A = this chain, B = another copy of it.
Amino acid sequence: MKIAFIGLGNMGAPMARNLIRAGHQLHLFDLNQQVLAELAELGSRISESPKHAAQGADLVITMLPAAAHVRAVYLNDDGVLAGISAGVPAVDCSTIDPQTIRDVAAAAAKQGVVVGDAPVSGGTGGAQAGTLTFMVGASLEHFTVLKPILAQMGRNIVHCGDVGTGQIAKICNNMLLGISMIGVAEAMALGNSLGIDTGVLATIINSSTGRCWSSEMYNPWPGVVETAPASRGYTGGFGAELMLKDLGLATEAAKAAHQPVLMGALAQQLYQAMSLRGDGGKDFSAVVEAYIKKEN
C-alpha cells in the first residue's frame, strides 16, 4: 500500500520503519529534514506538505505532538484534507483531546473521508519492537480496514467505539494510572514509616484488595520489583512530564464536560510539584520521593 505518514518524531519514526519493513511504500512528511533523509534511504518518498503526502495515498497516518498540530496538518490549506481522495481512510495516532479529533473527523466527513483516532501505549520501546497497544476510535467498518495495518506496528489493537473514544480510553486509563501510582506511593511510604517491611507489604497488597498494576508490576519503592524503574534510579520508564501531558488532557476534557475529577486534579498537581522540584524527567513512579524523609 501507499501510506502517507506524517509526523516522524520519537514515536512516529520507528512506527514508519515498521511499515516500510512490512513492504509498504511511504509518503513521508515532517519538519525535521534529517529524519526524512534517513527514512528516504529505505525507499520512501519525501513529501513537501501534508497535502502532497496525502495525494495518491491509499491510507493516511498521523502521529503528532499536540492538538494544534493535528488541526493544522489536517485542516490547513496545504493539509491532508486538501490532498486526500474521497474514500481513502485516515487515522491519527497522536495523544490529544477527544474533541479535536471529532472536529477533524466532522470536517473530513464533508468530503467523504473517514478519520479515526488510535492513540498508543507502549512508549518508544514498543514503537521500535512493534508491540504497541492501539486504542482505536472508529466505526466498525473503518476499524476493520485499519486493524491489519496497525497490527504491523503493534500487538494489541483494541476497538473502543466511534471516533474520539480511543482518546477517551487512553486519558481515562492514564488518569487512573496516575492516581493509583500515588496511592501506592502513599501506602508504601506510610507502611515503611510505621515499621513494616516494604517487600512484605507489597506482597500483602498484591494478594489483597489494594492490588493494582502500579503495585504489582511497577512498584515505586526501590527493590520491590526488580524490573521496575524504581529499582534502577527511576530511569527508562514513563516520564513524569508525559504523565503530566495525559493528566492535563484528562482534566481539560473533564472541565469541558462539567465532570469533576478531584483525585485526577490532585494527581496532576502532585506530578506538577515533582516537575517544579526538577524531577520531571524521571519516571513518574519517582513521585514517591516526596513521601520519603531525606537523610542529611
Contact = CB atoms under 8 A, between A and B. Distances in A.
Contact of A269 (B193, B218, B261): B261
A19 to B, nearest CB: 24
B205 A173 contact: yes
A189 B257 CA distance: 11
A200 interface: yes
B172 A176 contact: no
A7 B175 CA distance: 38
A260 B291 contact: yes
Interface stretch (A53-61, A86-94, A104-112, A177-185): A177-185
A248 interface: yes
Given A213-B211, A269-B261, A293-B276, A172 B201 contact: yes
Interface string A162-206: 101100110111111101101110111111011111001100110
A171 B209 CA distance: 12
A74 to B, nearest CB: 18
A196 B182 contact: no
Contact of A98 (B160, B194, B264): B194
Contact of A209 (B197, B213, B294): B213
A210 B177 contact: yes
Contacts of A264: 183, 186-187, 190
A293 to B, nearest CB: 6
Nearest to A267: B263
B179 A254 contact: no
A169 B253 contact: no
Given A176-B215, A212-B212, A165 B196 contact: yes
Contacts of A121: 208-209
Given A168-B191, A215-B176, A280 B257 contact: no
A189 B270 contact: no
A273 B253 contact: no
A95 to B, nearest CB: 14
Given A186-B179, A195-B168, A205-B172, A265 B263 contact: no
A158 B196 CA distance: 13
A272 B265 CA distance: 11
Nearest to A102: B195
Most buried by B among A133, A196, A201, A280: A196
Contact of A191 (B172, B177, B207, B278): B172
Interface in A101-160: 121, 133, 135, 156, 158, 160
B169 A257 contact: no
Given A191-B168, A263-B182, A196 B160 contact: yes
Nearest to A253: B194
Given A168-B196, A209-B214, A212-B214, 13 more contacts: A98-B194, A121-B209, A160-B200, A169-B196, A172-B196, A173-B187, A175-B186, A176-B187, A179-B180, A179-B186, A179-B263, A186-B264, A258-B276
